[in-house]
Homo-oligomer: A and B are copies of this chain.
Amino acid sequence: MTARGLGIDVGGTNLRAALVELETGAVVALRRHALAGRSPGEVVSVAASLARALGAEPGTTVGVGFAGQLQAGSGVVLNAPNLGWRDVPLGELLSGALGAPVRVANDLSAAAWGEARFGAARGARESLVVFVGTGVGAGLLLGGRLHEGAGGVAGELGHVKVDRPPGTAPRRCGCGMTDCLEAWAGGAAVEARVREAVAEGRAPAPAPGEARSGAGRTDVAARAGEEWALSLWEETAGLLGRAVASAATLLDPGRVVLGGGLLLGNALLYEMVERRIREETSRTAAAHLVVARAALGDEAGVVGAALLGAGR
């Protein structure tokens, strides 16, 4: 039996844990549990019960991907708006409950590491991994290692500032600032913008009982040539493509991996973003740039966390 590690992904409402084969990145078993509360005690007790349910043996290494700002290297959560945490020594608490050393990383860094080791950036020494789901973020694989930044908050691509489309009002971001990329082009922002377009009569209302998301409706309508949808997608792809192209120009990563529900779930938007990245990256960096889809889906986070926990 090859060595296994435990990977834990802490989101705002769910906690997922998996046993991962460290040689192959294969997920041996995965469990998910809704968080009834959001206290550190609740998170630690859910993590411990999932670890037991998965049959993690004593001494199994543990890695955690966590959506929040971490103090580099220490396992301390400085700030997690989703959970309302400040200055929580999560690594230490989990380590006590699980009886093993715990490595805590940003959730997108962990997912990027999973893609880097066993997904769409496998074998690369450099790559820029961008996730556009509800929010927008990135993980940076540079020189064969995960770049976490001087304060542990590298990769906050969702919080670069953008020029709003002409004639529009500023949009407030969840981070407290205004006109962040995520506030215009993340999945939650797209849903809000579609609702606004319907309310203002610029877009048709969804059919009664229609289950599709605002983004899904937009992708279908844009492919059918509907003006409101095309213009929303052009703005969204323009902002996302510009931000990724600027990052690729700065870093010369050789490889950009695109993941997250908004991009992977909407074929036309993906294609438009990819085209913008190619058009706007510097010629020198674009000449050898590969753009690829993320390959591990929802499992990237637990796989990357398990690897980081084992120092791999």
Which residues of A come within 8 Å of B, CB atoms? 69, 79, 124-126, 138, 140, 142-143, 145, 147-157, 159-161, 163, 166, 175-177, 180, 242-243, 245-247, 249-255, 280, 282-285, 287-288
10 smallest CB-CB distances across A and B, nearest first, come from: A150-B254, A149-B252, A159-B282, A154-B252, A160-B246, A153-B284, A126-B150, A163-B163, A161-B280, A156-B282
CB-based nearest B residue for A285: B153
Q: Which residue of B lies closest to A161 (CB)?
A: B280
A250-B247 CB under 8 A given contacts A142-B147, A143-B145, A161-B280: yes
Would you give 24 A-B contacts (Cβ < 8 Å), ordered by A?
A79-B284, A124-B150, A138-B250, A140-B250, A142-B142, A142-B147, A143-B147, A149-B252, A150-B253, A150-B288, A152-B252, A153-B282, A153-B284, A155-B252, A156-B252, A159-B282, A159-B284, A160-B282, A161-B242, A161-B245, A175-B282, A175-B283, A175-B284, A177-B283
Instruction: Give which listed residue, B125, B151, B163, B246, contacts A243 with CB less than 8 A.
Output: B246
Q: How far is the CA of A219 from the CA of B170 in the complex (A)?
A: 31
Residue among A69, A157, A251 with the highest chain B CB neighbour number at 10 A: A251
Measured CB to CB, the closest approach of chain B to A131, in angstroms, equals 14
CA distance A204 to B177 in the complex (A): 39
Contact A155 B283 (CB under 8 A): no
B156 in contact with A249 (CB, 8 Å): yes
Shortest distance from the beta carbon of A75 to any chain B beta carbon, whole Å: 17
B177 and A250 contact, CB distance less than 8 A: no
CA distance A126 to B148 in the complex (A): 10
User: Nearest chain-B residue to A149 (Cβ)?
Assistant: B252
Residue of B nearest to A68 (CB): B284
In the complex, which residues of chain B have a beta carbon less than 8 angstroms from the beta carbon of A156? 249-250, 252, 282, 284-285
Residue of B nearest to A78 (CB): B284
Known: A154-B252, A157-B249, A175-B282. 10 other contacts (CB 8 A): A69-B284, A126-B149, A126-B150, A142-B142, A149-B254, A151-B288, A153-B252, A159-B283, A159-B284, A160-B245
Q: Are B252 and A285 in contact (CB under 8 A)?
A: no
Q: How far is the CB of A162 from chain B (nearest CB, A)?
A: 9
B160 and A249 contact, CB distance less than 8 A: yes
Q: How far is the CA of A245 from the CA of B179 in the complex (A)?
A: 14
User: Are A254 and B175 closer than 8 Å at their CB atoms?
Assistant: no
Measured CB to CB, the nearest residue on chain B to A284 is B153
